[in-house]
Structure 1
Amino acid sequence: MGLFERTGKMALGSRLRLLTAKVTEDAARIYELYHIEFAPKWFPVFFVLAEEGKKTITEIANEIGHSQPSVSKIIKEMTVAGLVKEKRNSTDKRRNVAILTTKGIQLTEEIKTQWKDVGAAVESVISEARHNLWEAIQEWEFLLEQKSLLRRVQEQKKLRESQAVQIVSYDEKYQTAFRALNEEWITTYFQMEEADYKALDNPKEYILDKGGKIFVALYENEPVGVCALIKMNDPDYDYELAKMAVTPRIQGKSIGWLLGQAVLNAAKELGASNVYLESNTSLKPAINLYHKLGFNKVVGRSTPYARCNIQMEVRFSK
């Protein structure tokens, strides 16, 4: 086990496979001990049929958590062994159901003594162990069903990479990037409009000099995302979150979230009671991001953008 001490939890799958192989090897020898010709991998299918009678391949697969091809292969092997047979479903002639043969039914009686001994043996291991593996497996299955290991690794990767992202205030040296990133994003989905050019060509005059702010996301010192907080001349809203763009070359690093947080924090520091934005519902990742940032849909406002079909706001509690 020295390898696993060196690899740590990274080798979880390998260690579980090794444990599974050890238990499966013993299981095969246990069947031999009781003079029963039976493959350990058949057990889940056999148990379901013994307990519930006839079942379709799909029903068995869903119940034991195997793929349909895997169950089909096991059914064929058990059919060759004379334990299972297939017949047409009485309610749906297009589907076959698997049922135990007379030999299979007899085996359920013969095998009960073995099951009892195996159960007692497993209980003895549990009583000797510091941790209850059976309960731990149940807990892990539940937790991984809620959020898979893949998803958890994706989140850790995003968290680690997002820590390499730096959010800085706008400087004139970022003007080219501010325009290029927005133009790249807009032209991917829509067309540039007159209102776009006003802000992108003159960010200092149109945004900064009017009391707004612009933030730039740097990844490895390269500008990869931008977002603006624009002061609104409006009785209902103080500021607008606008001109958010992240290059598609750098995704999955929470850059949009970090920019959005920077803009909202700046709005609060400026004493804003609310922030407004405009978007398009076809941009599902963006809409999801705005919801996570606390924005909610509003209606009944005019917009200078043809591409806008949704307007949202976030209000700050005082």
Structure 2
Amino acid sequence: MEFFNTVGKAALGSRLRLMTATVTDDAAKIYELYGADFVPKWFPVFFVLGHDGEKTITEIATDIGHSQPSVSKIIKEMTKAGLVEENTTAQDKRRTVVTLSPKGVILSKNIAQQCIDVAVAIEGLISEANHNLWEALEEWEFLLEQKSLLRRVNEEKKLRESKEVKIVDYSPEYHSAFKALNEEWISNYFEIEETDRKALDNAEDYIIKKGGKIFVALYEGEPLGVCALIKMDASTGYDYELAKMAVSPKVQGKNIGWLLGQAVIESARTLGAKKVYLESNTILKPAINLYHKLGFEKVTGLATPYKRCNIQMELDLNQK
């Protein structure tokens, strides 16, 4: 159809639904062809009961990959049609066990040849096609199980939007953004402490003039993310600390934290650093995951000026 040629792969769901509708319409007519008063959507439940005998609704749902409410609805419809009944002889009376009725058993035997004919027809269709749809579906199901379409699209969105982010060096014009972003972030989870004030109120004296750096992430020209590389005392065993990373909630999910972290680490490497240190709190799971992704590993030992710190991490640049 011209619509699908125009829209392209973004219409995958619509195209699959259209094919499903076409096949389902034919399936209903095929049941009529074989004299079976049967609804196509019943088939997975009907097949499981015909093949395995009595089953609970939960067991059927697990077997066919449907939800329990969906299976319950189908069971009710099939019961009304006289194809399914509760197994009153089941040992465990606390569970609702269903089985094919005598009418259902007869129908199951009658449509056995139908299933064979359908399978042969599908094989013929596969032999005429350039691509084996059945095998492709198995492969796609496996790949989507490993990584869903939602996750894949989200990754592409992040990648595209991250290309619109520009990381720049700190200049006095960004002081208010550096301070405001950090105050917003810290206040959201903790309390601003004295050491925070020293860095946020006097960024140039406390960080820049002592040999550190501050990076600013611009998105559409607006400073919406910051991160500092603070020079540490040689007695600590570390060269620099990654600190004061804050990203505006307006742009979270655009990989800005990752881009800032990479900029800080690359700067530390350029400055000849061997080890970079950071402090955080384990309630900040996204941040901890980011630090692990950047290569940081948990350590212990240094005294911290922050009450909120309950985890310390380091990045050994000699190993990266």
Q: TM-score range by the shorter chain?
A: over 0.9
- In structure 1, what is the equivalent of residue 304 of structure 2? 303
Kept after mapping to 1: 8 A contact 2:83/2:104 = yes
Which range is displaced more, 117-126 or 80-89? 80-89
Which letter maps to 2:82?
G
Q: TM-score scaled by structure 1?
A: 0.97
| 2:228 corresponds to 1:228 | yes
Q: Note the C-alpha offset of 1:57.
A: 0.9
| Cα 1:92/1:312, change in 2 over 3 Å | farther
The 2-side partners of 1:234 and 1:195 are apart by: 19
- In structure 2, what is the equivalent of residue 263 of structure 1? 264
What SS does the aligned partner of 1:217 have?
strand
| Cα 1:75/1:266, change in 2 over 3 Å | same
- In structure 1, what is the equivalent of residue 284 of structure 2? 283
Which letter maps to 1:209?
K
Structure 2 gaps, min length 5: none
What SS does the aligned partner of 2:229 have?
strand
Kept after mapping to 2: 8 A contact 1:89/1:95 = no
Q: Note the C-alpha offset of 1:91.
A: 4.9
Q: What are the equivalent positions in structure 2 for 1:3-82 lying under 5 Å apart?
A: 3-82=3-82
Which range is displaced more, 86-95 or 187-196? 86-95
| Cα 1:88/1:263, change in 2 over 3 Å | farther
The 1-side partners of 2:88 and 2:316 are apart by: 62
The 2-side partners of 1:156 and 1:88 are apart by: 54
Tell me the number of residue pairs that the alignment of Structure 1 and Structure 2 aligns.
Answer: 318
Structure 1 gaps, min length 5: none
The 1-side partners of 2:204 and 2:87 are apart by: 77
| Cα 1:89/1:300, change in 2 over 3 Å | farther
Aligned residues with identical type, % of pairs:
69
What SS does the aligned partner of 1:37 have?
coil
Kept after mapping to 2: 8 A contact 1:89/1:97 = no
- In structure 2, what is the equivalent of residue 117 of structure 1? 117
- In structure 1, what is the equivalent of residue 126 of structure 2? 126
Q: What are the equivalent positions in structure 2 for 1:175-214 lying under 5 Å apart?
A: 175-214=175-214
The 2-side partners of 1:191 and 1:283 are apart by: 15
The 2-side partners of 1:89 and 1:288 are apart by: 54
The 2-side partners of 1:295 and 1:112 are apart by: 61
Residue deviations 1:159-178, cap 9 Å, x none? Answer: 11111111000011101111
Kept after mapping to 2: 8 A contact 1:257/1:289 = yes
The 2-side partners of 1:89 and 1:154 are apart by: 51
Kept after mapping to 2: 8 A contact 1:161/1:253 = yes
The 2-side partners of 1:68 and 1:305 are apart by: 50
| 2:109 corresponds to 1:102 | no
The 2-side partners of 1:188 and 1:89 are apart by: 60
| 2:216 corresponds to 1:216 | yes
Which range is displaced more, 80-89 or 16-25? 80-89
Kept after mapping to 1: 8 A contact 2:83/2:103 = yes
The 1-side partners of 2:316 and 2:239 are apart by: 10
What SS does the aligned partner of 1:249 have?
helix
RMSD: 1.2
